[in-house]
Structure 1
Amino acid sequence: MALMVSLSAQGQALHWLAQPDADIGPVINHYSSSPKISTNGRYVSFSSYATNLIPDDTNNERDIFLKDLVTGEIKLVTSTQSGAQINFIGSAFSAPTSDGRFIVFASGSAALPNGSGLWNDEYLYLKDMVTGQVTNLSVYGAGDYFEATGGVHLTDDARYITFGTYDDIDPNFSASRAQVYRKDLLTDTYELISVSEDGLSAADDTSSLASVSPNGRYILMSSEAHNLTADVINNSRDNLFLRDMNTGTTQLVNVTPSGDSSAFDDFSPSGSVSNIGTVAFKTSQSDIVVNDTNGLSDLFYYDGTNIQRINLTPAGNEVSDASPVPVISGDGSRIVFSSYSSELVNNDNNETGDLFSYDTASGQLTVVTVNNSNETANASSTQPSLSLDGSRLAFVSTASDLSNEPVSILHPEVFAYRFAQQQFKKLTEPAFNPHTIIEAVYGGYLSSDQQTVLYHTKSYNLTADSVEPNTSHLYRLDRSDNSHHLVALKSSASDISANGRYVVVNSDYFQPGGLIDLGSNHIFLYDRLNDVFTQIDEGYSGRVNNDGVVVFYTSKDIAANDSNGEYDVYLYDPVSQVISLISEGLDGMAAGGEFPDIGGQGNNTWVVFESEADNLVPADTNNRPDIFMKKVPSGTITRVSQTPAGVEANERSDYPRISEDASTIVFSTQADNLTSDDYSQAGTGQILYYDRVNTLLHLASKNESGLPLYGQNYSMLPSVSESGRYISYVYEDETYVGVDFAGDDDFREDAVLFDIVTQTPKIISVTPQGDHTDDSVNNLVTVVEDEALNPPLIGVTFSAYGPNFSGVDNHPGHLDMYLYQQGGPDLDLHIQVVGAGTVSGTSGINCSSDCHYDFSLGTELTLVANASTGATFTGWQMDFGHCQDDTNPCQVTMDRAKTLTAYFVDPNDIIFIDGFDN
C-alpha cells in the first residue's frame, strides 16, 4: 500500500508512491561488501548499505558491521561510544581481532573524537566493541591528523596498524607522494615502511598498502617508486614490494625468470602475503613467467624463491578471462580467488564468477562455490577473505543456491564457508524484512486524474508476481486503492496519455509476455481499455496523446525517403496503423531529429522535436540543435527556438515538451538571446516556454527574484501541464546556494514548479516539514493538471535518492518515487461512529453518528474518540491512512477523501469476553 506523507502547509501534500505490496522474507535491502575474517575464523567485519541488519539504522550511509559466527549476532561498528550512528564513513576498515574486540575504521564524522566533519577526511579510529570506546589513531606531530588512503591492517594483538597516507607523518622523510606507515599503538610511534633501500628517504613515488601478514612480519606494498630496492625498475608504473619487519629489508616480488623487474607497465598490481612470506598476487605484466600471451591480469604464487602462474586450465593452458586480487591464508597453505573463467575446472557452466581454491602444496585447483547438487553456483561470488589456517572463508555472493536461506538476488550478501564440512552460511541475516523497495525505481508517468502512475524497477517486492530477477519490469500504481500491478515484463514506459488509456512501452522483448528477444529496443502501444499491445517498430522515447497517436525517434530508416542512417522522428497512427516520417527536410528527405513529444488531438495535433539539421526550415545557420514543431499530418515544420523577429538561438536547445492542449511548448536551452531577460549573471542552462498562439518566448526558469537562474546553477528536463499553465523542471544549485531559492543550501538536484500565470517558482522537493535535504532528485520530473476538478488539482511526480521524502527512518536510500499535489477542491472526511461514543477534534469536529467534513488538501487533524459512560473505545478503521488500531488520539492528514470509523462497545454487551461466569 502506498503511504501518504503531508507537507505542513495547507493545500499541498507529498505522497510516497512505491511502497511494496509483497513480503519477500528475510533478505537485505541493499548491498554488502568487503568481508574480512578474523585469524581464528570466528568474526567477520563487513560494510553494508542495508538498513535492516540491525534495528534503528537511520543514517542512510554505508556502515561497518561485525558478525559473530558462533552467536549469530550482528553489531554496528561505526558508532560513537554512546552507540549513536555516525556519518562520513570511509572505505578503509580492518578485520576484527580474534576475540572480536577491536576493529579499525576510517571516518570524517564530527561526532567522533577530533573528527573533522568532512566526508573526505578519512581519519582512522580504533573501536573497542566491549566498552564502546572510540580512539582517534590519526594524531601525529604537534596535534596534526593524517588522512588514510587505501586499506588499513590491524594486528591480531591490536598493537600495530599499517596504512597509507599522503601526510608527512615522519618529519625526517618529506615526500609529496603517498607513503605506507606502521603505527605502534602501545608506544604511539610511527615507522615509515615505504622507505628507500638506503634508509635515508621515503619512496620517490606513490606507494600504497596491499597486504600485511597476520603476524605483522611481512608488509606487501604496491609502488611506482624506483628507490625501494637496489633493483633497476624497467617500467614506469606499479610494482609489488615485500617488506620484512624483522630484518628491515625490502624485496621486489614481481620479477621475471631472469630476476629482473618487469618491462611492462601495470596500473594496479596487488596481492596477499602469508606469515611465512609467501605471496599470491595478480598482475597484467606478461614477462613474469614464460608463455604469458593472453594480455590479461593473471594470478601468481611466489613461494619465497620461485613464481608460478596458478590460473591455468587443467591442461596447463592460459585462460581468456582476467582475475581480480587473490588472498592467501596466514599459514600459506591455501589461495582463494574469484574468476569468471569457465576454463579453470571441468564442468563450470554457470557463466558467472566463481571462487576457486589453490592448494599451494599440491598445486590442485578446485572450485569452492558449488551447491548441494554439485553444480557451480547460479550467480557471482567475489571478495574472498581467509582465516589463518585457511579452514574458513568469508565472501560476498548473489547466488541463491549456496544455502537454503533466502537471499536478496539483487544485492550481494556475505557468506562464510567451512572447507572441512563444505558448508555455506549466510551471514547478513536481517533484523526485519524489507518494507521498502530494494532497488531503484524509474519513470513516474502520471495520468491527468493522478490515479495511475507508471514506473519500472528491478525491485521484485512491489507485487507478489514471480518475475525474473536482475531485470526491470513495468508496474502500475492504482491510486484509487494504492495497489501495484505488473504491466509488462522486461520493459519500461516512456509516457501515458493524459486520459490514462494509452501507455508507451519500451522493451527488447515482444509484448505481452517478454519471452521473445527482439534484439533491440522496440516501441509498443498498450491500450489499457482493451488490454492490447501493439508492436510499432524499433525506437526510443515514445510519447502518446489521448487518441493513441505515438511519436518516437529511431535510427532505423523506416520510410522510403529516410536513408540517412541517423535518428529521425516518426509518428504512428493507431487507426490507419501507418508510420510516417516527421523530421522531413526541405528537400523531402529525412533530415534528422530526436526527443519528440505530441500535444493536442484530432485536427489540432502537434509534434515537437529537437534536431541539429540545417534544412528543416530556411535560413538555419546557427549550427546548433534547435526546437521545431509541426502540425500533423500535413503542416509545415516551424522553428520554435528563435525570436519573433527570426533571430536564431546562439546556443543549443533541447528536450522539448508540449502541453496536452498544444498551446504551450517548453524546452531547455543554453541560449541567452531568445528572450529580453538579463542573462549577464545567468547560468548556462535555462527553461523557456513558447506561447504557440501568440508566437512568443518567455523565461520559465526564474528564481525568486524573477531573474534567470544564477551562475553555475542550472535547470533541465522540463515538463508542462495539460493547460500549459504549470511547468516543472530539475534544478541544481551547483555553486551558488541560497541565491535562487531562499534556504536551498543542499547542493542537490531539486524539483521546481513554475506557475505561468503568477510567474512564481517554488521548490517542491522538500520534506514533510518543508526542509531542504541531501536527497537528490533524479532526472525525470512530470507535471499534470486535472482540469475536470474545480479548482484544478496539480500533480508532479519525481524520483529521489535518500530517505527523507518517504518519512521512513530506515529507508535504504534507493531511488524512490513521489507525488507532489497542490490545489483541487476540498476533500470529504466521512466519520462514522459505531456504538456509544463521539469523535471530536480540531477544526470543529464533533460527531456522534454519521458526519461529513470538508478540508483542503494537506490539512492535518487530531481526532479523539470519546467513549460514553460505561462504554469502551475499541479502535479505529480507515480506508486510507494510519488510524487502524486503538491509538487515541489519532492523527489524520487529508491527502484525499477518507472514511474513518470509530468503534465503541458496552462491556455488558460482550457475553463471552471472559467466559460465562464473567
Structure 2
Amino acid sequence: MSVHANRGSVRRVRAAWSAAVAVCAVTALSQATPAAAGQPEAAAGVVRGSGAGVERISVAPDGTQADGDSVEASITTDGSRVVFVSTATNLVSGGTSADKRVYLRDRRTGQITQLGHHRPSGRPALSGDGEYVAWPEWFMDFVHIRLHQVRSGGSSFTRCVLVCDSPPSLSGDGRYIAAAGRNRTGSDVVPHRRLTVEGPDSVETIAEFDHYVSPAQSISGDGRRVAYQDGRAHDVFVWERTNGVTSGPIEGPSVEATFVQLSEDGRKVVYLVGDDTYVHDLETGDAEHVPGARGVAVDPTGRYLLYAPNGGDGPSLVLRDLRTGTDETVAEQPATAGPDAVSAGGRDVVFQSAADGIVPDDTNGASDVFVRRFY
C-alpha cells in the first residue's frame, strides 16, 4: 500500500507531478576534480551535428574509437550537449581507468569533458540547459547523488537522509532534483520507499510506500510537476507543487501501467499498458493511444514520441510525430535509448548500439553512443 502526500481526488491530472528525490541536503564541495577543472578536450575538425545524419558521440577528441562501452545517454533540450557513461580509457587525455565514468559532449564545439573521477551507479541526468549533471554513486556504505556544474567544473554532493537507489531527474535549470530513497538506519527491516523533491530551500516528500520496489520518476522543466510510478502497484501518479495535490492513477483504477517519462513542459505523461503506449495530456485529460509500440522517451514539448516497435522485424527505434502520425526511423540496427533521449521538436535522438554498421569504420566491437539529427 502507498500513502500519497496531500492526495486529491482530481479527475483530470492538470498540474500533477511526483518525484522522488532522496531526502538530501546539498553540501557544496565547490572543488573541481582535476579532469573537470581544466578546459575540455577539443575534437578534431569542424563543429559536428550541423546537418541531418548520424554522429557517433563516444569517440576521442582526435576521432579515435572508444576502447570501452558507452551507454546511458541523455541529450539537452536544444540538442547541443550529450551526457553518457563509458568504461573507455581514451576519450580524454590521461584516461587510465576502465571503471565507469561520466562524460559530456558539446556538439557545437566538438569538446568532450570527463566529469570528475567519480563512478556512477546509475544513469546520469542532464538538466535541460545542459549546465548540470546528476548521477547516483556509492559513498561510504550508501548511494548518494552527485550534482556537477558544467560551467565551473564544481561538484556538489547530496548527503542523503535516505539511500538514493534510483537515477535522479533534474529540472530544466538544475534547481530541483527528484529521486527515490529508502531508510538507511539499522537493518531497514520495515519495507519503505520515499519520493521527495529537493529544491534550493526545501525538501518535499511526495509519496511514501510500504515496500522495497523502487519507483520511477520524472520532473518537469520548471520543477513544478513530477510524475511517478508506484513500482509494486504499477500505478502512475502526478503531483503539483502549487497546491500539493497528487492525482491518479491516471491510467485508471483497474489498469496496470509502467511509467516512461514526463515531458519537460510538464503537460504530457508517457506510460505503457501491455504492448501499447499512451501519451496522457494533463491539461485535457485525454490519452493518445499508440498501439503495438513500447514508448521509450518523449521530446520536451510532448509532440514527438520515441518508441520501439513490438516484434522482431523492422527498425529498432522509431520517432513518431503525434500531431501528424508520421514516423521516422531512428535506428535500423539493434539499438536502445532511455528517458531524455529526444531534443525539442524531435530534431535529435540519442541512442546506444553495439552494431557496427551505423557509421562507417566502426570496428571497436563496443557499444557506442550516437545522435541522429533529422533536420
> Aligning the two structures, in what range does the TM-score lie when normalised by the shorter sequence?
0.5 to 0.7
Residue of structure 2 in register with 1:335 after alignment: 269
Match of 2:307 among 395, 414, 439: 395
- Alignment partner of 2:271: what SS? strand
Match of 1:415 among 311, 315, 318: 318
Match of 2:281 among 344, 359, 362: 359
Matched, 1:112 2:91: yes
Matched, 1:85 2:24: no
Residue of structure 2 in register with 1:301 after alignment: 238
Matched, 1:221 2:172: no
Matched, 1:383 2:305: no
Quote how far apart the aligned CAs of 1:270 are.
1.3
Distance 1:107 1:336 in 2: 28
**Alpha-carbon distance change, 268 to 128 in structure 1, aligned in 2, over 3 angstroms:** same
Distance 2:294 2:323 in 1: 20
Match of 2:331 among 415, 428, 433: 428
Matched, 1:273 2:219: yes
- Alignment partner of 2:65: what SS? coil
Contact 1:240–1:270 at 8 Å: present in 2 too? no
Quote how far apart the aligned CAs of 1:418 are.
2.0
Distance 1:301 1:234 in 2: 29
Quote how far apart the aligned CAs of 1:180 are.
0.6
Distance 1:127 1:158 in 2: 10
Distance 1:810 1:188 in 2: 33
Q: Which letter does structure 1 place at the counterpart of 2:84?
A: F
Contact 2:235–2:251 at 8 Å: present in 1 too? no
- Point out where structure 1 has 5 or more consecutive residues left out of the alignment: 1-66, 139-144, 168-174, 196-201, 228-232, 255-260, 286-295, 341-352, 370-375, 400-408, 431-437, 439-801, 814-918
User: Matched residues, percent identical?
Assistant: 18
Quote how far apart the aligned CAs of 1:250 are.
1.2
Residue of structure 1 in register with 2:161 after alignment: 203
**Alpha-carbon distance change, 299 to 216 in structure 1, aligned in 2, over 3 angstroms:** same
- Alignment partner of 2:83: what SS? strand
Quote how far apart the aligned CAs of 1:239 are.
2.3
Q: State the Cα deviation string for residues 444-465 of structure 1 (Å, max 9, x = none).
A: xxxxxxxxxxxxxxxxxxxxxx
TM-score normalised by L of structure 2: 0.68
Distance 1:251 1:234 in 2: 24
Give the RMSD, CA atoms, in angstroms.
3.2
Distance 2:215 2:306 in 1: 22
Distance 2:218 2:127 in 1: 15
**Alpha-carbon distance change, 284 to 97 in structure 1, aligned in 2, over 3 angstroms:** closer
**Alpha-carbon distance change, 337 to 83 in structure 1, aligned in 2, over 3 angstroms:** same
**Alpha-carbon distance change, 396 to 116 in structure 1, aligned in 2, over 3 angstroms:** farther
- Point out where structure 2 has 5 or more consecutive residues left out of the alignment: 1-47, 335-354, 367-375
Higher RCO (CA-CA < 8 Å; seq separation 6+): 2
Q: State the Cα deviation string for residues 790-817 of structure 1 (Å, max 9, x = none).
A: xxxxxxxxxxxx99xxxx986989xxxx
Distance 1:93 1:330 in 2: 17
Contact 1:241–1:250 at 8 Å: present in 2 too? yes
Distance 2:288 2:80 in 1: 34
TM-score normalised by L of structure 1: 0.29
Contact 1:338–1:383 at 8 Å: present in 2 too? no
Q: What does residue range 879-890 of structure 1 map to in structure 2 within 5 Å?
A: none
Distance 2:129 2:362 in 1: 38
- Alignment partner of 1:150: what SS? coil
Residue of structure 2 in register with 1:241 after alignment: 196
Match of 1:253 among 206, 212, 218: 206
**Alpha-carbon distance change, 156 to 307 in structure 1, aligned in 2, over 3 angstroms:** closer
Quote how far apart the aligned CAs of 1:276 are.
3.9
Q: State the Cα deviation string for residues 812-842 of structure 1 (Å, max 9, x = none).
A: 89xxxxxxxxxxxxxxxxxxxxxxxxxxxxx
Match of 2:103 among 88, 105, 125: 125
Residue of structure 2 in register with 1:898 after alignment: none
Residue of structure 2 in register with 1:164 after alignment: 136
Distance 2:249 2:148 in 1: 34
Quote how far apart the aligned CAs of 1:152 are.
1.1
Q: Which letter does structure 2 place at the counterpart of 1:125?
A: Y
Q: What does residue range 492-891 of structure 1 map to in structure 2 within 5 Å?
A: none
Q: State the Cα deviation string for residues 269-321 of structure 1 (Å, max 9, x = none).
A: 11111124211111145xxxxxxxxxx321111123222223445xxx412xx
Distance 1:310 1:359 in 2: 14
Contact 2:125–2:168 at 8 Å: present in 1 too? no
Q: State the Cα deviation string for residues 25-75 of structure 1 (Å, max 9, x = none).
A: xxxxxxxxxxxxxxxxxxxxxxxxxxxxxxxxxxxxxxxxxx97x943110
Q: State the Cα deviation string for residues 702-723 of structure 1 (Å, max 9, x = none).
A: xxxxxxxxxxxxxxxxxxxxxx
Contact 2:136–2:166 at 8 Å: present in 1 too? yes
- Alignment partner of 2:75: what SS? coil
**Alpha-carbon distance change, 132 to 71 in structure 1, aligned in 2, over 3 angstroms:** closer
Distance 2:231 2:362 in 1: 46
Contact 1:101–1:128 at 8 Å: present in 2 too? yes
- Alignment partner of 1:83: what SS? coil
Distance 1:809 1:185 in 2: 29
Distance 1:809 1:71 in 2: 20
Q: Which letter does structure 2 place at the counterpart of 1:83?
A: G
Q: Which letter does structure 2 place at the counterpart of 1:251?
A: E
Distance 2:365 2:68 in 1: 16
Distance 2:156 2:304 in 1: 32
Match of 1:153 among 97, 101, 125: 125
Q: State the Cα deviation string for residues 379-438 of structure 1 (Å, max 9, x = none).
A: x42322332x22222232246xxxxxxxxx3476222222322322112257xxxxxxx8
Distance 1:810 1:411 in 2: 24
Misfit runs of 4+, over 6 Å: none
Aligned pairs, number: 290
Q: Which letter does structure 1 place at the counterpart of 2:302?
A: G
Residue of structure 1 in register with 2:112 after alignment: 134
Contact 1:210–1:270 at 8 Å: present in 2 too? no
Distance 1:428 1:135 in 2: 26
Contact 2:126–2:132 at 8 Å: present in 1 too? yes
Distance 2:114 2:365 in 1: 29
Distance 1:299 1:207 in 2: 19
Distance 2:164 2:261 in 1: 23
Residue of structure 1 in register with 2:149 after alignment: 184
Contact 1:338–1:384 at 8 Å: present in 2 too? no
Quote how far apart the aligned CAs of 1:117 are.
4.3
Contact 1:95–1:153 at 8 Å: present in 2 too? no
Distance 2:331 2:101 in 1: 27
Distance 1:330 1:204 in 2: 26
Matched, 1:101 2:80: yes
**Alpha-carbon distance change, 235 to 71 in structure 1, aligned in 2, over 3 angstroms:** farther
Contact 1:108–1:123 at 8 Å: present in 2 too? yes
Residue of structure 2 in register with 1:744 after alignment: none
**Alpha-carbon distance change, 82 to 150 in structure 1, aligned in 2, over 3 angstroms:** same
**Alpha-carbon distance change, 82 to 280 in structure 1, aligned in 2, over 3 angstroms:** same
- Alignment partner of 1:166: what SS? strand
Quote how far apart the aligned CAs of 1:204 are.
4.8
Q: State the Cα deviation string for residues 532-558 of structure 1 (Å, max 9, x = none).
A: xxxxxxxxxxxxxxxxxxxxxxxxxxx
Quote how far apart the aligned CAs of 1:213 are.
2.1
Quote how far apart the aligned CAs of 1:335 are.
0.8
Contact 2:239–2:247 at 8 Å: present in 1 too? yes
Matched, 1:318 2:254: yes
Larger Rg: 1
Contact 2:260–2:295 at 8 Å: present in 1 too? no
Contact 1:299–1:326 at 8 Å: present in 2 too? no
Quote how far apart the aligned CAs of 1:177 are.
0.7
Distance 1:331 1:812 in 2: 38
Quote how far apart the aligned CAs of 1:339 are.
1.8
Distance 1:74 1:311 in 2: 36
Distance 1:109 1:394 in 2: 27
